[in-house]
Amino acid sequence: MNVQRVIAAAPETMGLSAAEDMRLTWLMSAVEANRFLPAPAPENVFVGDGDYRAIGAEFLGHFVRIGGLRPSDRVLDIGCGIGRIAVPLTQYLDGEPGRYEGVDPVGEGIAWCGRHITSVYPHFRFCQVDVAHALYNPGGSLRGEEVVLPFSDGSFDFAAMVSVATHLPSSEIAAYARETVRLLAPGGRLFVTAFLIGPGDMERADARPRFVPGPEPRSWTADPSAPLGAIGFETGVIEAVLETAGLGIERVALGHWRGTPSAHYQDIIVATKPGARA
């Protein structure tokens, strides 16, 4: 496995020119400051603490700089929540053919996105998948291990799971990895955030969260009473799951959750479907 493993405080640039990188930085600031872009009422944001606009703008930067996202890409957002990632992408994907599909089990988030995003940006669409999850969708009718998304083979260039694999057992990450391989075009990329727990990470006093042994072998959780609230895996576990599905690990960028400097909190894996990118 020839993986580029990055531990860096400075943002990556993924081959962007200085001018392109400057324009991206400007766009991220503009997205964060723009009060005309939709944002849900704070009490309806179920996807975690933090500034909704700032985190969305931050991930636009990571998608482009670390994941190699292009304006013309067809994007699949697995676990899209309540549009935190989609809203900034409306300012980046060009609609010809760049487009976006978001899926999530939480109906309220999907409904909000339809009302506030699709209504203005019709090339952004959202769909509820009624997958059961102990915390997010306890009454769901489908098992995560059997998920099949309602899209045709090879119809995306970029798939994202932002702060989603941090809430799933490895069997469900594997199911999404298989679906992603089916849905990506050759050369397409999967951008996954995760907690990858390596030797020494647990001993660092400044690591947040403090993990304890988790519900399955080689897993760790922040809270044994609700293990999927934040789950991490030993380094190599998720990478092997992705490789078994047929993806190649292109890069692993370590986050600052473990107390080391980084431009992002969770770790990021970028994996590629074999073949030439169009």
Ligand X SMILES: C[S@@+](CC[C@H](N)C(=O)[O-])C[C@H]1O[C@@H](n2cnc3c(N)ncnc32)[C@H](O)[C@@H]1O
**Measured CA distances, 76 to 50, 107, 133, 176, 212 (Å):** 23, 18, 20, 12, 32
CA-to-CA distance for 115 and 118, rounded, in angstroms? 6
CA-to-CA distance for 274 and 277, rounded, in angstroms? 9
Footprint on residues 136-155 left by ligand X (CB under 6 A): 136, 144
Footprint on residues 217-246 left by ligand X (CB under 6 A): none
Minimum distance of ligand X from residue 82's CB (angstroms): 7
Selected binder of ligand X within 162, 177, 196, 254 (CB under 6 A): 162
Selected binder of ligand X within 74, 99, 167, 258 (CB under 6 A): 167
Selected binder of ligand X within 40, 61, 68, 81 (CB under 6 A): 81
**Contacts of residue 223, Cβ cutoff 8 Å, sequence gap at least 6:** 229, 230
Element (H, E) at 268: strand 267-272
Footprint on residues 99-118 left by ligand X (CB under 6 A): 104-106, 109
Stretch in the footprint of ligand X (CB under 6 A) among 156-164, 182-190, 207-215, 248-256: 156-164
Selected binder of ligand X within 70, 123, 125, 133 (CB under 6 A): 133
| Nearest Cα to Cα of residue 48 among 107, 109, 91 | 109
Selected binder of ligand X within 90, 118, 163, 221 (CB under 6 A): 163
78 neighbors 136 (Cβ within 8 angstroms): no
**With respect to ligand X, which residue has the nearer C-beta, 63 or 220?**
63
66 contacts ligand X (rule: CB under 6 A) = no
Element (H, E) at 31: helix 18-33
Minimum distance of ligand X from residue 131's CB (angstroms): 4
Minimum distance of ligand X from residue 203's CB (angstroms): 27
**Contacts of residue 185, Cβ cutoff 8 Å, sequence gap at least 6:** 74, 154, 155, 156, 157, 273, 275, 277, 278
Minimum distance of ligand X from residue 278's CB (angstroms): 26
**With respect to ligand X, which residue has the nearer C-beta, 11 or 109?**
109
| Nearest Cα to Cα of residue 194 among 108, 247, 271 | 271
78 contacts ligand X (rule: CB under 6 A) = yes
Question: Is beta strand 99-104 parallel, antiparallel or unpaired with respect to 74-78?
Answer: parallel
32 contacts ligand X (rule: CB under 6 A) = no
- Helix boundaries (H) for 104-158: 107-113
48 contacts ligand X (rule: CB under 6 A) = yes
Q: In degrees to the nearest 10, what's the CA dihedral of 215, 220, 222, 226?
A: -10
CA-to-CA distance for 211 and 224, rounded, in angstroms? 9
Q: Which residue is nearest to ligand X (CB)?
A: 81
Selected binder of ligand X within 131, 245, 268, 269 (CB under 6 A): 131
Footprint on residues 172-211 left by ligand X (CB under 6 A): 172
Residues lying near ligand X in the complex (CB under 6 A) are found at: 47-48, 78-81, 84-85, 104-106, 109, 131, 133, 136, 144, 162-164, 167-168, 172
